[in-house]
Chain A
Amino acid sequence: MFIVFLLALLLGLCSCEQNNLSPTFQDLPVVEGYLKEGESISFKISRQVATDVSANYSPDNLSALNPELTEDDTAIRLTAKGGGVYEASQLVQAGKAYKLSFRYNQKLVTANTTIPTKPENYKQSVASIKAFTFGGGAGGGIPDFPDPVKLTWDNPNNSYYVVVIENTEATPEAINTGNSSPPARIFRNQPTQGNSYEIRVMQFNYYGKHNLKLYHINPDYAVLYSSGGSTSQNLFSPATNINNGVGIFTGMAGKVLELSVTK
Chain B
Amino acid sequence: MKQPLIHFILCWIVLSALSALQAQDLKNIKADRFFSGSLTKVLDELAKEHSLKFSFDREALAKMPVDDRPFNESLDVFLNNLCKPHKLKYALHEGTIYVMQKTSNLEQVLRTQVGKVDTKTNLPTRTNLTVTGKVRDAQTGEALPFSTVGIKGTTQGVSTNADGYFVLQKVPSDTATLIANFIGYREAVVRLLPNLPTDNISIDLAPTTNELTAVTLSGEREDMMSTQRTDISVVRLTPKTLERLPNVGEKDIMRSFQLMPGISASNESSSGLYVRGGTPDQNLIVYDGFTVYHVDHLYGFFSAFNANALKDVQLHKGGFESRFGGRLASVTEITGKDGNQKQFNVGGDLSLLSFNVFAEMPIGDKFSSVFAFRRSYKSPLYQSLFKRFNENDQNNSQNNTQNTPFAQNTTQARSYFYDLNGKLTYRFSNNHSLAWSIYNGTDKLDNGYKVETPSFLASRGISLDFGINDLTNYGNLGSSLKWTQRWSPKFYGSALVSYSNYYSNRDRSNNGTITSSNGEQRTIKFGTLEDNNLKDYSLKTDYQWDYLPNNQLQFGNMHTNYDIKYTYSQNDTTTVIDKDDKGYTSSVYLQNRTKLFNNRLQFVAGLRANYFNITDQWYYEPRFSATYNVTKRLTLKGAWGNYYQFANRIVREDILAGSRDFWLLSNGTNIPVSNSQHYIAGLAYETPQYLFSVEGYHKDLSGLSEYSLRFTPSSQGIKYDENFYNGTGFAQGIEFLAQKKGGKVNGWVGYTLGKVRHKFDVYSKDFFPAQNDVTHEFKAVGIYQHKRFDASITWIYATGRPYTAPSGAYNISLLDGTTESYFSISDKNSLRLPHYHRLDVAFNYRLFSKGNDIGYIGLSLFNLYNRTNVWYKQFEIIENSIVTTNINYLGITPNLTLSLKLR
Interface residues of A (CB under 8 A from B): 1-2, 5-6, 9-10, 12-14, 19-28, 30, 32, 34, 46-53, 55, 132-135, 142, 145, 147-148, 158-160, 162, 164, 166, 175-176, 178, 183-184, 186-190, 192-194, 198, 200, 202-203, 205, 215, 218-239, 241, 246-248, 252
Q: Which of B655, B657, B820, B873 contacts A224 (CB 8 A)?
A: B820
Closest-by-CB residue of A relative to B807 is: A23
Let me know if A50 and B405 touch, CB within 8 A.
no
CA–CA, A23 to B828, complex, Å?
9
Q: Which of B696, B815, B833 contacts A5 (CB 8 A)?
A: B696
Let me know if B454 and A183 touch, CB within 8 A.
no
Once A51-B809, A222-B713, A234-B657 are accepted as A-B contacts, the answer to whether A183 and B815 lie under 8 Å apart by CB is no
Let me know if B827 and A21 touch, CB within 8 A.
yes
Q: Which of B807, B812, B820 contacts A26 (CB 8 A)?
A: B807
What per-residue 1/0 map shows which CB atoms of B461-478 lie under 8 Å from chain A?
010001000000000000
CA–CA, A183 to B880, complex, Å?
25
Question: Taking each of A1, A48, A164, which has the highest tally of chain B beta carbons within 10 Å of its own beta carbon?
Answer: A48
Asked if B406 lies at the interface with its beta carbon under 8 angstroms from chain A, I say yes
Q: Which of A6, A23, A203 contacts B694 (CB 8 A)?
A: A6
Nearest-Cβ distance from residue A107 to partner chain B, whole angstroms: 15
23 contacts between A and B (CB under 8 A): A1-B681, A2-B681, A12-B732, A13-B753, A19-B832, A20-B830, A21-B830, A32-B813, A48-B808, A49-B808, A49-B881, A51-B807, A133-B405, A134-B405, A148-B514, A186-B816, A187-B401, A189-B401, A227-B822, A229-B657, A238-B823, A238-B824, A246-B824
What per-residue 1/0 map shows which CB atoms of B402-417 lie under 8 Å from chain A?
1111101000000000
Nearest-Cβ distance from residue B666 to partner chain A, whole angstroms: 24
Nearest 5 Cβ contacts at the A-B interface:
A219-B713, A48-B808, A226-B711, A234-B654, A23-B807
Closest-by-CB residue of B relative to A5 is: B681
Asked if B708 lies at the interface with its beta carbon under 8 angstroms from chain A, I say yes
Nearest-Cβ distance from residue A33 to partner chain B, whole angstroms: 10
Nearest-Cβ distance from residue B711 to partner chain A, whole angstroms: 4
Asked if B717 lies at the interface with its beta carbon under 8 angstroms from chain A, I say yes
Let me know if A23 and B825 touch, CB within 8 A.
yes
Once A13-B755, A189-B401, A193-B574 are accepted as A-B contacts, the answer to whether A228 and B823 lie under 8 Å apart by CB is yes
Collect the chain B residues with CB atoms within 8 Å of residue A189's CB. 401, 526
Closest-by-CB residue of A relative to B403 is: A203
Q: Which of A25, A229, A239, A241 contacts B654 (CB 8 A)?
A: A229
Let me know if A198 and B717 touch, CB within 8 A.
no
Once A5-B681, A13-B732, A237-B824 are accepted as A-B contacts, the answer to whether A190 and B526 lie under 8 Å apart by CB is yes
Let me know if A231 and B656 touch, CB within 8 A.
yes
Q: Which of A14, A50, A202, A232 contacts B403 (CB 8 A)?
A: A202
DSSP majority for the B interface? strand
Collect the chain A residues with CB atoms within 8 Å of residue B119's CB. none
CA–CA, A198 to B466, complex, Å?
14
CA–CA, A41 to B454, complex, Å?
49
Let me know if B882 and A49 touch, CB within 8 A.
yes
Asked if B35 lies at the interface with its beta carbon under 8 angstroms from chain A, I say no
CA–CA, A216 to B803, complex, Å?
39
Once A51-B809, A246-B810 are accepted as A-B contacts, the answer to whether A233 and B698 lie under 8 Å apart by CB is no
Let me know if B653 and A229 touch, CB within 8 A.
yes
CA–CA, A22 to B804, complex, Å?
10
Q: Which of B815, B876, B880 contacts A164 (CB 8 A)?
A: B815
Once A25-B807, A145-B457, A236-B653 are accepted as A-B contacts, the answer to whether A231 and B887 lie under 8 Å apart by CB is yes
Collect the chain B residues with CB atoms within 8 Å of residue A166's CB. 816
Nearest-Cβ distance from residue B661 to partner chain A, whole angstroms: 12
Asked if B348 lies at the interface with its beta carbon under 8 angstroms from chain A, I say no
Asked if B11 lies at the interface with its beta carbon under 8 angstroms from chain A, I say no
* Those of B391-425 within 8 Å (CB) of chain A: 396, 398-399, 401-406, 408
Nearest-Cβ distance from residue B138 to partner chain A, whole angstroms: 40
Let me know if A193 and B822 touch, CB within 8 A.
no
CA–CA, A26 to B698, complex, Å?
36
CA–CA, A223 to B708, complex, Å?
15
Q: Which of A2, A188, A224, A233 contacts B638 (CB 8 A)?
A: A2
Closest-by-CB residue of A relative to B714 is: A219
Asked if B366 lies at the interface with its beta carbon under 8 angstroms from chain A, I say no
Let me know if B810 and A46 touch, CB within 8 A.
yes
Let me know if A230 and B821 touch, CB within 8 A.
yes
What per-residue 1/0 map shows which CB atoms of B822-849 lie under 8 Å from chain A?
1111110011110000000000000000
Closest-by-CB residue of A relative to B697 is: A9
Nearest-Cβ distance from residue A129 to partner chain B, whole angstroms: 14
Let me know if A192 and B571 touch, CB within 8 A.
yes
Collect the chain B residues with CB atoms within 8 Å of residue A233's CB. 653-656, 803, 872
Q: Which of A49, A202, A225 contacts B405 (CB 8 A)?
A: A202
Question: Taking each of B454, B813, B825, which has the highest tally of chain A beta carbons within 10 Å of its own beta carbon?
Answer: B825
Asked if B805 lies at the interface with its beta carbon under 8 angstroms from chain A, I say yes
Let me know if B711 and A227 touch, CB within 8 A.
yes
Collect the chain A residues with CB atoms within 8 Å of residue B653's CB. 229, 233-236
Let me know if B717 and A232 touch, CB within 8 A.
no
Collect the chain A residues with CB atoms within 8 Å of residue B719's CB. 219
* Those of B220-244 within 8 Å (CB) of chain A: none
Let me know if B805 and A23 touch, CB within 8 A.
yes
Let me know if A187 and B733 touch, CB within 8 A.
no
Given contacts A26-B808, A234-B656, 18 further A-B contacts (CB under 8 A): A6-B694, A19-B832, A23-B830, A26-B807, A49-B809, A142-B456, A164-B815, A166-B816, A178-B405, A198-B524, A200-B524, A219-B714, A224-B820, A228-B823, A231-B887, A236-B825, A238-B824, A247-B810
Once A5-B696, A23-B826, A28-B824 are accepted as A-B contacts, the answer to whether A236 and B708 lie under 8 Å apart by CB is yes
Let me know if A235 and B825 touch, CB within 8 A.
yes
